Amino acid sequence: MSKTALITGGASGLGYELALLLAKDGYNLVLIDIDAEKLQEVKQGIETDFAVNVQIYAKDLSVVNISEEIMLELKGLPIDVLVNNAGFGLFGSFWETDWEREKQMLHLHVITTTHLTKLVLKDMIQRGSGKILNLSSLAAFQPGPLMSLYYATKGYILSFSEAVANELKGTGVTVTALCPGPTKTSFQKVVSNASSENKITFNMANAKEVAAYGYKAMNKGKVYAIPGKFNKLLATLPRFIPRNTAATIVKRIQEKNREA
């Protein structure tokens, strides 16, 4: 019997790489992204290369009630894997950044991720199987001056995922939070004004490798996954240095990587 994976932000970056991995394993796909043109290209490419069916939905996942709208359009289609990948960042001092854009980010990262997870969970539990992969970040482990809300929402996703994963023990359903460090995707271009020669790039990961690491962790039922030894070290730093010092370090890195 064929299985289905739903991936938000599936038209590019980590979402696209995860879609390829799922298609390779025979999953039919439901891809949701704001970029309708890119979605169509991805659908054609995947269906050409793999013997799977790909449904695409061009949706703005930051709008109210979008999760119910998606599930209604799927008409009860069982979801075996949910990947909450869609997201974006916003750089700048909190008092200067655009509230409307921040509100969209909060809704996308917090409300949509939470609600989609809730909407698929009951059916997964009834079937005794299912996997959820939530895209958190290395940002989840410390405060992030100049990207304060982005860091805060990724911290929410990690905490939420860990808590629900614990509740689900023994059900056959797992939740994994993938916490990558800086990864070469369109996210970096959208959030940054800095020229490439000014950036700190030694720890920049490849999207394909990060996706493979997260996919493997999800299939093993791990609660969270941090790709890269250096990133694992960075995630532990707030345990050993004052949080204010950690925040100052993050701020300096952001100033180097984001400001023009």
Residue numbers annotated as active site: 150
Maximum CA extent, the chain: 53
The closest alpha carbon to 133, from 95, 83, 86, 194, belongs to 83
The closest alpha carbon to 160, from 126, 181, 132, 127, belongs to 132
The closest alpha carbon to 187, from 49, 85, 260, 110, belongs to 85
Structure tokens belonging to residue 18: 């995860």
Contact 147, 254 (CB under 8 A): yes
**Residue 246 identity:** A
Provide the 10 A C-beta neighbour count for residue 107.
19
The closest alpha carbon to 137, from 113, 156, 118, belongs to 156
